Structure 1
């Protein structure tokens, strides 16, 4: 007698154990999502990211403890002059600690500050001129400053 191969067409059958495991995982995920932290009287512990740019000069911002404050400053190039930024600095590292920072080859600057504790911090940078050969820069340095309240 010859062996006959049987090919099943249609939905594959999963073992009952996998179906039960999937049902438990799905129920757990739905239950966790159905009761947000605020419903239990707790604030969300998820850190946020506050991003500040050239246009935020002179402004105030608010962050929560644990948040990251990103500074992204872009350079300006005009008539053979490049206006480059210094690396942003924190006035109060206990409130906002510099996690990383640097400058880009085109004169931009970036920094990430981690909000460590409640308080107020001033983050500053300065824009200065770099001339192309044969050009002369005006003797002007432009400050950039934001005040961040960490709650």
Structure 2
């Protein structure tokens, strides 16, 4: 057996499987950690949103949901990850793009946060559609079809979700 063959065999049998297992396990860890509120709130631009979420007296819709949930540590991801097959990966990709854009384009650091696309009702309906008080609500009854097909936005009636984007300035700064 030649040295090249031995090195290829070493790579295929030892190094590649170890690297593959390491990559898969760290991916799951980073997906879990990247779904926490503290992770989302650690970005300077998101600081006021995070504070609006965890403030006990906050009247923002995000804070009301936060207080009602038993499992609170992933509230940001619960509302902002699209509920499709690759939703969590899409969310990580969008977050990575935002982070790169933020550091590569200094003008963005001074801009207010804004939605790049309309907020999908499916993110709300994922939790609310099975609740009797949702479908039986007199307010929802006449527009239920439009809500389900995203013609009327849930947040057009149920806002504001968060404090207005303020370029990361928190109430404590």
TM-score higher than 0.5 here?
Answer: no
Identify which of structures 1 and 2 has the higher relative contact order when contacts are C-alpha pairs closer than 8 Å and 6+ apart. Answer: 2
- Structure (1 or 2) with the larger CA radius of gyration: 1
**Quick check: which one's helix share is greater?**
2
- TM-score normalised over the length of structure 2: 0.21
**Quick check: which one's strand share is greater?**
1
